[in-house]
Amino acid sequence: MNQSNSILIQVPATTANLGSGFDCIGTALNLYNEFEFSLSDEKTSFTVVGDGQEKISLKDDNLLYQSFVKFYQHLNLPIPEVHIKISIKVPLARGLGSSATAIVAGLLAANYFSPQKLSQENLLNLAIAIEGHPDNVVPAFLGNCILSVGKENNWHFIPINCHEDIKFIVAIPDFELSTEEARSVLPKQLSYHDAIFNIAHFGLLIKGLETGKKDWLKEALNDKLHQPYRKSLIKGYDQIHEAVIQAQGYGMVISGAGPTLLALSSSLHAEKVIKVMKDTWENLGIKADVKCLDLDTKGTIIREI
């Protein structure tokens, strides 16, 4: 089969953790970064468009390009020269998996142009190794809500059904928080009490997502592994949480490592939840873009252009 010299890769944003599922569950959402790769006779180059474009490195240390290179190094193959055009729609460093979109796109572009291909399982293993945890890269690649269980090159990826009336409302503030900083505040050890709390809540989360049962979701979104430590990095966390509950949302969690806050709601209450999240943050002097998103079911798509 003839292959094209240019491809367009679309990768969805993701929201990881969903409260009690720290580092193991994530959901793909219908907001997408796009990456155009064209084989080139000239030295590799980049063009970037979209919000935050000035923050993207145009050199070899670019995460997208590093992931592209990693693929060829893994197979001991020469690295082709490419022109890469990045179109940013997923806000950077906000807890919506922008890094995961770059890692997945870099690996899949490399796999497309390579004379030797890797299986989906091997590509996922590489993506997880680059990111360090599976909860963004796996749903970004596969779509849907996915629980990842395993280690190193031995993972199970379990799709979790989400009830069709669950809305994912993301409130994206106009400040950044690095995953590194958000992980630096986590404790080195936890009590049995807190571990048991999270096991129980995570079990309930899976059933709550499946059934959309309000009481279950409301309880399930509580967590003791990361949010109690991270919330002080996000001004207004407690006030917005309270406002979401008052507006009849199921609850609110930190999206990934933050600072984006994710509320789950039924479609009936979604508009009110959007309004209170925006207003509460604005009353604290923080501008936020609040969007109601749906689950992405397709994952990464590659199109020849």
Number of CB atoms found within 10 A of residue 69's CB:
16
User: Cβ 72 to ligand HSE, closest distance in Å?
Assistant: 25
Q: What is the DSSP letter of 81?
A: P
Is residue 16 a contact residue for ligand HSE (CB under 6 A)? Answer: yes
CB contact set of 113 (below 8 Å; sequence gap of 6+) = 3, 37, 39, 80, 82
The dihedrals phi and psi of 105, each to the nearest 5 degrees, come to: -65, -40
- Cα–Cα distance measured from residue 71 to residue 78, given in angstroms and rounded to the nearest whole number: 10
**Closer by beta carbon to ligand HSE, 99 or else 300:** 99
Q: Which of 25, 82, 257, 288 binds ligand HSE (CB under 6 A)?
A: 257
**Closer by beta carbon to ligand HSE, 23 or else 289:** 23
User: Cβ 3 to ligand HSE, closest distance in Å?
Assistant: 33
Buried-exposed string 92-106: b where 16+ CB fall within 10 A, e elsewhere = bbbbbbbbbbbbbbb
Site residues for ligand HSE, window 204-243 (CB under 6 A)?
none
Residue 146 · residue 160 · CB < 8 Å = yes
Number of residues that bind ligand HSE (CB under 6 A): 12
**Closer by beta carbon to ligand HSE, 25 or else 286:** 25
CA distance to 56, 62, 199, 205, 211, per residue, from 45 (Å): 13, 11, 47, 44, 48
Q: Candidates 17-25, 84-92, 152-160, 215-223 — which segment interacts with ligand HSE by CB under 6 A?
A: 17-25
User: Cβ 95 to ligand HSE, closest distance in Å?
Assistant: 7
Longest dimension (CA), the chain: 60
Is residue 296 a contact residue for ligand HSE (CB under 6 A)? Answer: no
**Closer by beta carbon to ligand HSE, 36 or else 135:** 135
User: Cβ 182 to ligand HSE, closest distance in Å?
Assistant: 6
Comparing C-alpha atoms, which of 90, 153, 145 is closest to residue 127? 153
Q: Extract the tokens encoding 294.
A: 């749906």
Q: Which of 10, 15, 17, 20 binds ligand HSE (CB under 6 A)?
A: 17
Residue 102 · residue 61 · CB < 8 Å = no
Binding mask 66-95 for ligand HSE (x = CB under 6 A): ------------------------------
Q: Candidates 14-22, 57-65, 112-120, 205-213 — which segment interacts with ligand HSE by CB under 6 A?
A: 14-22
Is residue 101 a contact residue for ligand HSE (CB under 6 A)? Answer: no
Binding mask 23-62 for ligand HSE (x = CB under 6 A): x---------------------------------------
- Single-letter residue type at 11: V
**Closer by beta carbon to ligand HSE, 82 or else 103:** 103
Reading phi first (left if > 0) and then psi (alpha if -120 to 50, else beta), residue 144 is in left
Residue 31 · residue 295 · CB < 8 Å = no
Q: Extract the tokens encoding 58.
A: 């145009």
Residue 98 · residue 140 · CB < 8 Å = no
Site residues for ligand HSE, window 122-161 (CB under 6 A)?
133, 135-136
Site residues for ligand HSE, window 166-185 (CB under 6 A)?
179, 182-183
Which residues sit at the interface with ligand HSE, rule CB under 6 A? 16-17, 22-23, 133, 135-136, 179, 182-183, 256-257
